[in-house]
Amino acid sequence: MFKKILIANRGEIALRVIHACRELGIATVAVHSTADSDSLHVTYADEGICIGPPQSTDSYLNLNAVISAAEITGADAVHPGYGFLAEKAHFAEVLAECGLSWIGPKPETIRLMGDKAKARQMAIKAGVPVLMGSEEPLDDLTEALELASRVGYPVILKAAAGGGGRGMRIVQHEEEFEHQYSTAANEATAAFGDGSIYLEKYLVEPRHIEFQIFGDRYGNVIHLGERECSIQRRHQKLLEESPSPALTPALRAEMGAAAVQLAKAVGYENAGTIEFLLDVDDSFYFMEMNTRIQVEHPVTEMVMGVDLVKMQIQVAQGEALKIEGGFVPRGHAIECRVNAEDPENFRPSPGKIITFHPPGGPGVRVDTHAYEHYVIPPFYDSMIAKLIVHDADRDAAIARMSRALDHFVIEGVKTSIPLHRGILQDPAFQAGQVSTRFMERYLAKKPDGAN
Ligand code: MV4
């Protein structure tokens, strides 16, 4: 059993992990940059240790500094949160060499699923549907052109080392293929040091639906339902909900079984997410797997009545998943990501928070590291809070979220709260008619951003 966990992260997720550790009776070590000395994750942890200057490459991404902090403080395990070192297979390997436990999937699984072309191959092998496209990375223009015409335009070129929207190129017509192909390969080499690209049929207006999966070291794998994540802008999610208004119980069962099948095929341990694209005709296709706890995990926690971070720690300690009785979804949950940014142009709005009154009441949860007089440093992500609500059904959850947003007072910095208010009032959103194109359409209708 773990006695002390080092949290290799900052912000709300570092606090979230501290809450889980405290409830399990496990001591915590916070690491922080010099810009985060006054951060709540440092205050709430049992110990805090500075690991470097503000730039994350010199602190939160500096694996030597993080591992030294774990050794100095006598931690026996590391929780990476999301972002930073969460999907760095090498970091997990070095921890093992130092005799430290890693709260996450096996390094080889992280590496395998981090290669998006290999992940696609694994999905094919596991019998999980993928879009028409290449089974191997493309290595020759003529061959790629031939494949594209067989698949039919539009097609999408994706970097194997990309993911989450990085390193993608859409090709509408054959005439632009050669240009897009060489641009994609060059960009992938420049950005990732790996020019491998693969090709898929491009779906014009899908939904992004992801399944929460969980595995233990005894081969048990379960899914905990899905999250509807179609409301994004520039591949940054803004609002997520569970369940998806698009899924029938039958489709959920089918997609959930596919997700579990793939996770089992790769021997998955700990928390993970299988992302699907859902087409307008209800056909679904594997897109990517994320080998970490995600920002939007609370909507699953609210609907399923579980603590995913505690579960992560328990399975990393060698406990078996508790699956007797199964997991029964209840009601509907929505999460709004509150970013310190200008809702008109989405530019970051760091600085000092003058007033901070989070909402409360039944079915309202606020995951945040912010507080009155907190100074948001300019070096990191602009997300300062996650507002999550739960209620009996989708309409009730929307009403509860609208009320909670109205009662969330933040002064001193600009936030995305007005944008969320606007989204919740949108007729298409209220009808559950969302797709990856939703924000594009919404912002075209409301050029002022919201209100
Ligand atoms: C796609 C797609 C359509 N067809 N692949 C974006 C993030 C990365 N995980 C893959 N992405 C997409 N892949 C095919 N074959 C559309 C997207 C996509 C998208 C996906 C989810 C949420 C928002 C999106 C916005 C634009 C494009």
Ligand 1 atom, smallest distance to 285 CA: 15
Q: How far is the CA of 442 from the centre of ligand 1 (A)?
A: 18
Specify the pLDDT at position 88. Answer: 98
Ligand 1 centroid to Cα of residue 16, in Å, is 29
CA-nearest residue for atom 26, ligand 1, is 436
Query: From the DSSP assignment, how many helices (H) and strands (E) are in the chain?
Result: 15, 20
| CA nearest ligand 1 atom 5, residue | 202
Pairing mode, strands 166-171 and 155-163: antiparallel
Contact 327, 302 (CB under 8 A): no
Indicate which residue's Cα is closest to atom 12 of ligand 1.
Answer: 165
Q: Comparing C-alpha atoms, which of 420, 53, 82, 124 is closest to residue 273?
A: 82
Q: Which residues contact 406 (CB under 8 A, 6 or more apart)?
A: 359, 421
d(CA 97, CA 90): 11
Closest approach atom of ligand 1 to CA 202: 4
Percentage of residues of the chain with pLDDT beyond 90: 95
Active site residue 330: no
Residue nearest to atom 7 of ligand 1 (CA): 165
Name the closest-CA residue to atom 24, ligand 1: 436
Spatial distance between the Cα atoms of 335 and 308, rounded to a whole number of angstroms: 16
Ligand 1 centroid to residue 52 C-alpha, Å = 36
Encoding tokens for residue 82?
């999301």
Q: Residue 165 Cα, ligand 1 centroid: separation in angstroms? A: 7
What pLDDT score does 224 carry?
98
Q: Is the separation of the CB atoms in 361 and 266 below 8 Å?
A: no
Residues 303-339 have pLDDT tens digits of 999 999 999 999 999 999 998 878 999 999 999 999 9
User: Which residue among 200, 208, 239 has the greatest number of ligand 1 atoms within 8 angstroms of its CB, and so is best to mutate?
Assistant: 208
Report how far ligand 1's centroid is from the alpha carbon of 198 (Å): 14
Nearest to 321 by CA among 340, 331, 308, 335: 308
Pocket of ligand 1 (CB under 6 A): 131, 156, 164-165, 200-203, 206, 208, 232, 235, 277, 287-288, 436
Count of CA atoms in the C-beta half-sphere (13 A) of 206: 18
Does this model's pTM top 0.95? My answer is yes
For residue 155, give the ligand 1 atom closest to its CA.
15
User: How far is ligand 1, taken at its centre, from the CA of residue 81, in Å?
Assistant: 24
Residue nearest to atom 10 of ligand 1 (CA): 165
Report the distance separating Cα 343 and Cα 332, nearest Å. 26
Mutate to test the pocket of ligand 1, among 166, 231, 277, 437 (most ligand atoms within 8 A of CB): 277
Q: Which long-range contacts (CB under 8 A, 24 or more apart) does 274-278 make?
A: 274/210, 274/211, 274/213, 275/208, 275/209, 275/210, 276/208, 276/209, 276/210, 276/211, 277/131, 277/203, 277/206, 277/207, 277/208, 277/209, 278/206, 278/207, 278/208, 278/209, 278/244, 278/246
CA of 163 to the centre of ligand 1 (A): 9
Q: Helix 297-304 to helix 308-316 angle, to the nearest 10 degrees?
A: 100
Q: Which residues of the chain have pLDDT under 70?
A: 447-451
Q: Are 407 and 177 in contact (CB under 8 A)?
A: no
Q: Would you give the distance in Å from CA 299 to the centre of its chain? A: 12
First-last CA distance in the chain: 51
Token couple for 24: 């399990």
Which residue's CA is the nearest one to ligand 1's atom 25? 436
Q: Could you say which of 16, 120, 252, 292 is catalytic?
A: 292
114-128 pLDDT per residue, tens: 999 999 999 999 999
Token pair, residue 280, equals 């307008």
- Residue pair 137/209 in contact (Cβ under 8 Å)? The answer is no
Q: Which atom of ligand 1 is nearest to the CA of 131?
A: 15
